[in-house]
Amino acid sequence: MSEYKTINEKKADWEESTLKNVLDRFPEQQEEFVTGSGHPVERLYLPSGISEEEYIGKIGFPGEYPYTRGVQPTMYRGRFWTMRQYAGFGTAEESNQRYKYLLEQGQTGLSIAFDLPTQIGYDSDDSMSEGEVGKVGVAIDSLKDMEILFEGIPLDKVSTSMTINAPAAILLAMYIAVAEKQGVTRDKLRGTIQNDILKEYIARGTYIFPPAPSMRLINNIFEFCSKEVPKWNTISISGYHIREAGSTAVQEIAFTIADGIEYVRNAIGVGLDVDSFAGRLSFFFNAHNDLLEEVAKYRAARRIWARVMKEKFNAKKEKSMMMRFHTQTGGSTLTAQQPDNNIVRVTIQTLAAVLGGTQSLHTNSRDEALALPSQESVMIALRTQQIVANESGVTSTIDPLAGSYCIEAITDRIASEAWDYIEKIETMGGMVKAIEKGYVQKEIQDSAYRYQRDVEDGSRIVVGVNKFTVEEEPQKGLLKVDPSLRTVQVEKLARVKGERDNVAVTASLKALKKGAESEDENLMPLILDAVKKYTTLGEISGILREVFGEFQESIVL
Amino acid sequence: MAKMVRILVAKPGLDGHDRGAKYIARALKDAGYEVIYTGIRQTPESIVVTAIQEDVDFVGLSLLSGAHNELFPKVVELLREKDASDIIVFGGGVIPTEDIPFLKEKGIEAVFTHGTPIKEITDFIEKRLEKQ
Amino acid sequence: MDLVDKVQSGSIRGIARTISLIENNSPQKEDIIDELYPHTGNAMVWGITGPPGAGKSTLVDCLIKRERKQGRRVAVIAIDPSSPYSGGAILGDRTRMQKHSTDEGVYIRSMASRGHLGGVSVATGDAVKILDAAGYDTIIIETIGVGQTEVEIIELCDIVLLVLVPGMGDEIQAMKAGVMEIGDIFVINKKDCDGADRLKTEVEYVLGIKNALTGEEPNPVLLASSKLDEGIDELVEAIHDYLKKAQTTGRFEEKRRDRIEKDVHKIFSSKVHELLNIHLDIENNLGEWISSILNGETAPYKLINSKLNRFVKENRII
């Protein structure tokens, strides 16, 4: 006669007999097991007894609210994610070569990295640019550089993501101008500008202007693109950098979504209809090593955003509620020691992003803890994506880990904790206020500090760094940026300034200043006009700095 | 009272990644030193003036943007010009191993890249202080 | 003395080194202070205090700008607490003033409290003297932040600004705690935020009561925003008006005499203690004395009086 027992009762039996027998002889490796973010992980996850109603409400179907399982009904069965490797260094000529190489090797979208002077609105000949020209990305001083950057690359055939924030309007204007010269109309342009200034204040540091005028520029871009460049993703609300700054997985999505809420509220505040721009908002997340937590994180993020858009902002269009995102594997997880290990790390992270349903992916190269990637390393990174896509089988079905007791439990936990953060920030009056108070920065810093101490005292293992170390030869074959680059760029700049119509430039700057001073004017047309006349990035940013002022960092230690 | 050790942690150039610098500042405070942190986007000139005004024993430069070969030596040079070459300069961030000999030649006494345990840095500081 | 010359000639290195010597209680300290003393007395010393988060550093940044515009040389001492566990400190106030770092007419020095309670560090007063002798016209001291014990700032300054911000919840508490006694001018910072006007009214009300009791002139209460750089010109004007008035009414001299008096008492106290420590070997005997009090052999006053009487007799002081 068999006694009917529930799962939980059987679990108790198991714990008292089979498990106990082993534990008594072989204790587990740790007292407590935690995720990458420090959350406890259960020994065993069991069916949660979810009802059909709950399934439909919380998990649902791909391509349908709340999009937990993905934003497209066929996902990778229909089309793989876009393989989009972030690249750019040195001169526009060199970067152009690297883009052509990557496209030949099977990359499906471009991702442009700009150098720091460009990101902060300085020309290569500015004194603040010393030592920095062309180092972390390509140097763009004027439309001339942009033309060289995309030489031979048909802008109606590729989608281009530009990692540019404070001067995003200027680079977008340049892109539109280059397309025009190629004979490509605006309505055909596909791509993204990062354009997420809030995370700059929180974690990345390449801001120029204070929050209010920065938000104005963002609204100008939303409005302009909704009419003129309808296929363009006008913002990539980013959690990547927040995670790199040391946040936990929960904080990564919570602060990103809170940023998103601020942008949406702001745009609605100046009269834009939510459904007119929300469909073009995109997101950008990180992929760290804890596979299970990362997959759950992406699913939780989609669920939360859908609910935010529906309940907080009354979005009516499906597209407005769908969270589409790009992922990059975590730079901060790469080690300088035993660099080939990083290939393995990136593979795990790729798998996490793909099982999590990302729309596009950048994989880091093995040598990136030391320098920008060499051509050889970047190819391995691209191959990693191609192998997962074509050989691993995980793309044959949608959201494969759904229903895993562990994954659903962690998804729920992350969603609930992220909501708590989001509500807390709402009570503070929104993200801008929370940043001003230093709340967000402090949360991130505390997580970062805890993480680092764990690595230092060995309770968190990093292979090759605090365990399994070897004596190593210095890495060879790293990419070096030619230091004479700045001189080259400065000469180029002088030539551009000599050949252009300087009267027209002065007039365009004057008009821009006037437009900037009047709060209601959309600055995009004025910037486009200036850019076409070969006004430099530094000159345009300079005028805006004059009118808007500069943001003062507020240190939270 | 024994002389308190004062350390300036600075971020020269345009790089805005301050997670490492902030961690080092906090860890050095926990080790018992007085740490002055300048914030991001400092020019070599302002770093040197700050180092002298604050009468620091060490300057720690953090940089992840690849501009270290230009900006770190500039700091050392300016300290020399202002008769302050007794201030010891060390650096960290994203710095390829092959650049380290050049930096050392230019007067940066130690380079601590990503993954260096704090103990290595505090050992360096203590050892250098003993030498004085 | 070489260092003294350097200070007087305005050498930044010289000033910095001298301040460090004082901070570390070097044996040269007393001679240096005495030699520099005749050259002090020219600077105006402003104190900025208030709860953490009130925007003091950003306000100081604005004040530096204004003073520089008027051609005055400015020195700032920014004080932050030392960790009670490690003894170390992170001194981050100057980040908000860094744009002045390359202005030769500005000197910024960060100091840690090094365990001293009172809102400033032990060496702050002497550092002020050094900067005064070095020729700085305005010396601004930014304290850790005010509570009931952090009030030493009054003893060091010619004028104290108390900075408050709306929305801190405990502003009324601060007023009840007597912290209002400290300020000469009250600044309601972050005036663009909700509640700023209300706070101003509340502060004026409390001050009104205090002034009615003492019969003094009402203290100015000003709205400002250090972030937006608004209300600062008015504030600086009020500061200079206050200082001018204090000079004409003699209050200024009075305060300075008070300051020197406190200084003298403090130095006497510490010197006498030092002296007695040597003569009575207090450090080594303390353990024994405590035991004898504990086991009832003697009582505190009895013990100390007997030691002192013996000291006085042995040294034929009386």
CA distance A192 to A206: 18
Calculate how close chain C gets to B99, using CA atoms only, in Å.
30
Residues 11-50 of C with CB under 8 A from B: 12-13, 15-17, 19-20, 23-25
pLDDT of C149: 66
pLDDT of C175: 60
Mean pLDDT of all residues in B97-120: 92
Whether B25 has its CB under 8 Å from any CB of chain C: the answer is yes
> A2: helix, coil or strand?
coil
pLDDT of A322: 96
Q: Of B1-5, B96-100, C79-83, which range is least confident?
A: B1-5
| Chain B environment of C16 (Cβ under 8 Å) | 52-55
| Chain C environment of A128 (Cβ under 8 Å) | none
pLDDT of A83: 92
Does C90 contact B82 at a Cβ distance shorter than 8 Å? no
pLDDT of C277: 87
User: pLDDT band at C297, cuts 50/70/90?
Assistant: very high
Give me the architecture of the B6-131 domain, per CATH.
Answer: 3-Layer(aba) Sandwich (3.40)
pLDDT of C52: 81
Q: Is the pLDDT of residue A343 over 90?
A: yes
The ipTM assigned to this model is 0.94
Whether B60 has its CB under 8 Å from any CB of chain A: the answer is no
Angle between helices C124-133 and C29-36 (to 10 degrees): 40
Asked if A321 and A310 touch (Cβ cutoff 8 Å), the reply is yes
Does C58 contact A552 at a Cβ distance shorter than 8 Å? yes
Instruction: Decide if A445 is inside a domain.
Output: no
CA distance C271 to C285: 19
pLDDT of A481: 77
Q: Is the pLDDT of residue A344 over 60?
A: yes
Neighbours of C, requiring at least 3 CB pairs below 8 Å, are A, B
- Output the average pLDDT for chain C: 89
Whether A140 has its CB under 8 Å from any CB of chain B: the answer is no
Q: Is the pLDDT of residue A36 over 90?
A: no
Q: Quote the domain boundaries for residue A214.
A: 79-420
CA distance B70 to C90: 28
Does C20 contact B43 at a Cβ distance shorter than 8 Å? no
Instruction: Decide if A146 is inside a domain.
Output: yes
Whether A284 has its CB under 8 Å from any CB of chain B: the answer is no
Taking one residue from B and the other from C, the number of pairs with CB-CB distance under 8 angstroms is 86
Calculate how close chain C gets to B126, using CA atoms only, in Å.
15
Domain count, chain A: 1
Calculate how close chain A gets to C310, using CA atoms only, in Å.
54
pLDDT of A124: 96
- Output the average pLDDT for chain B: 93
Calculate how close chain C gets to A452, using CA atoms only, in Å.
18
Neighbours of A, requiring at least 3 CB pairs below 8 Å, are B, C
| Chain A environment of C58 (Cβ under 8 Å) | 552, 554
Q: Angle CA(B98)–CA(B103)–CA(B109) in degrees, nearest 5? A: 120
Mean pLDDT of all residues in C244-250: 91
* Selected residue of C190, C227, C230 to mutate for chain A interface (largest A Cβ count, 10 A): C227
Does A370 contact B71 at a Cβ distance shorter than 8 Å? no
Whether B85 has its CB under 8 Å from any CB of chain C: the answer is no
* Selected residue of A127, A136, A377, A478 to mutate for chain B interface (largest B Cβ count, 10 A): A136
pLDDT of B75: 98
- Highest-confidence segment of A75-89, A92-106, A531-545: A531-545
Nearest-CB residue to C13 (from B28, B39, B52): B52
Instruction: Decide if A303 is inside a domain.
Output: yes
- pLDDT single digits (tens) A490-505: 999 999 999 999 999 9
Whether B50 has its CB under 8 Å from any CB of chain C: the answer is yes
Q: Is the pLDDT of residue C177 over 70?
A: no
Q: Is the pLDDT of residue A30 over 90?
A: no
Tokens of A309: 């858009």
- pLDDT single digits (tens) A363-380: 999 988 877 888 899 999
Q: With CA atoms as reference, report the closest residue to A151 among A98, A211, A187.
A: A98
Peptide bond before A66: cis, by omega within 30 degrees of 0?
yes
Q: Tell me, what DSSP letter sits at residue C77? A: E
Does C86 contact B34 at a Cβ distance shorter than 8 Å? no
Indicate whether this model's pTM tops 0.80. yes
pLDDT of A390: 93
The count of residues in chain C is: 318
CA distance C88 to C113: 10
pLDDT of A219: 94
Which of the two residues, C275 and A316, has the higher pLDDT score? A316
Does B97 contact A475 at a Cβ distance shorter than 8 Å? yes
Taking one residue from A and the other from C, the number of pairs with CB-CB distance under 8 angstroms is 12
Whether B37 has its CB under 8 Å from any CB of chain A: the answer is yes
Q: Is the pLDDT of residue B1 over 50?
A: no
Calculate how close chain A gets to C99, using CA atoms only, in Å.
10
pLDDT of A1: 44
Nearest CA in chain C to B45: C102
User: pLDDT band at C174, cuts 50/70/90?
Assistant: low
Asked if A353 and A76 touch (Cβ cutoff 8 Å), the reply is no
Tokens of C84: 């009670």
Whether C96 has its CB under 8 Å from any CB of chain A: the answer is yes
Neighbours of B, requiring at least 3 CB pairs below 8 Å, are A, C
Q: Is the pLDDT of residue A399 over 70?
A: yes
Nearest CA in chain C to A548: C228
Q: Is the pLDDT of residue A181 over 80?
A: yes
Q: With CA atoms as reference, report the closest residue to A351 among A378, A385, A326, A383.
A: A385
Integer angstrom CA distances of residue B127 from B34, B120, B121: 17, 11, 10
Whether B127 has its CB under 8 Å from any CB of chain C: the answer is no
> B95 exposed, middle or buried (CB, 10 Å; 0-12, 13-18, 19+)?
buried
Instruction: Decide if A55 is inside a domain.
Output: no
Residue B109: count other Cβ atoms within 10 Å of its Cβ: 14
Whether A478 has its CB under 8 Å from any CB of chain B: the answer is yes
CA distance A417 to A37: 12
Whether B86 has its CB under 8 Å from any CB of chain C: the answer is no
Q: Would you list the DSSP string of A473-486?
A: PPP-S-----TTHH
Q: Angle CA(A206)–CA(A212)–CA(A218) in degrees, nearest 5? A: 70
- pLDDT single digits (tens) A184-239: 999 999 999 999 999 999 999 999 999 999 999 999 999 999 999 999 999 999 99
Q: Of A365-379, B52-66, C30-44, C118-132, which range is least confident?
A: A365-379
Tokens of C189: 């910072």
What CATH number corresponds to the domain at position A113? 3.20.20.240
Does A449 contact B23 at a Cβ distance shorter than 8 Å? yes
Nearest CA in chain A to B19: A245
pLDDT of C170: 56
Q: Would you list the DSSP string of C12-52?
A: HHHHHHHHHHHHTT-TTHHHHHHHHGGG-S-SEEEEEE-ST
